[in-house]
Copies of this chain bind each other. A is one copy, B any other.
Amino acid sequence: VTHAYMSQLMTSTKAKIIDLSADFRLSEASLFEKHYHQHDSPALLKTIPYGLPELFSDEIKQSQVVANPGCYPTSVILALYPLIKEGLISGSIISDSKSGVTGAGKALKESFLYCEVNNSFSAYGTGVHRHECEMVDVLGCDVFFSPHLLPMNRGILSTMYASTDVKTVKEIDTVYEHYYLDKPFVKLALQSETPTTKFVMGTNDCRIGFRLFPDKRRLVVFSAIDNIVKGASGQAVQCMNIMCGFNETEGLGQIGLYL
């Protein structure tokens, strides 16, 4: 829909709107225009919240319109936001992310034909993908984003590399638990498991784990989502539930297929 039609809906009805496009994800028109194109409704940008319910549910609850996050940013921001806000990591962060092919939609491009994707793996859009600015904007921190295409249908695994002065696993556990222990769709794998895309297939979950190497000042964080559920329509339903006063998990309780 056009922005004109959206504005009309907003003024003449009480319809709740969840925008799956990237139009209202960024905070500044200048940022949007640098990475996309001219913005039709710059005034609306500041009023529409970023629809990541685990972090911005208050703003989502009160807004008529919500900007549904991108799939890669969902996986990266959920994993890094608590650590950055609590000052546990600093400096430049790298996210080496890998996505199944559904991330590309149903575009009829040779590179998405079965025989091209099957048995192969490569990077694309290194350092120039539009999702990078979305991560930087929400996290308020420098992130270098490097996506790759996996020979499978669903799932994103982001492997994130940060420098840290943290000495113990417990400090990190505590921060994640503070942010997410009461969030139904964040599963803290932490030290007990390495997040695997298969475990989130068909679910609205985000599984977060990490490995800490204090002697190297290195922290590696893993985050797994199903890119077409938590990374797209599942998250939209979750936002709708919050906007409409429903239980946050309504319609999202389906058990994921393991295989």
A residues contacting B by CB (< 8 A) are 92, 94, 96, 98, 101-102, 106, 108-110, 112-124, 126-127, 142, 144, 146, 148, 150-155, 157, 159, 161, 194-198, 201-202, 211, 213, 216, 218, 220, 222, 224, 228, 254-255, 257, 259
Contact = CB atoms under 8 A, between A and B. Distances in A.
A259 B198 contact: no
B153 A114 contact: yes
20 contacts: A92-B216, A92-B218, A94-B161, A96-B146, A101-B118, A108-B113, A114-B116, A118-B153, A119-B154, A119-B155, A119-B197, A120-B152, A121-B155, A122-B198, A122-B222, A122-B224, A124-B194, A144-B213, A201-B257, A254-B254
A94 B202 CA distance: 32
Given A115-B259, A120-B152, 4 more contacts: A118-B153, A122-B197, A127-B216, A257-B257
Contact of A159 (B146, B220, B254): B146
A150 B126 contact: no
Contact of A198 (B113, B119, B155, B198): B119
A117 B106 CA distance: 12
B113 A106 contact: yes
Contact of A144 (B126, B150, B161, B197): B161
Contacts of A259: 102, 115, 119, 153-154, 228
A112 B110 contact: no
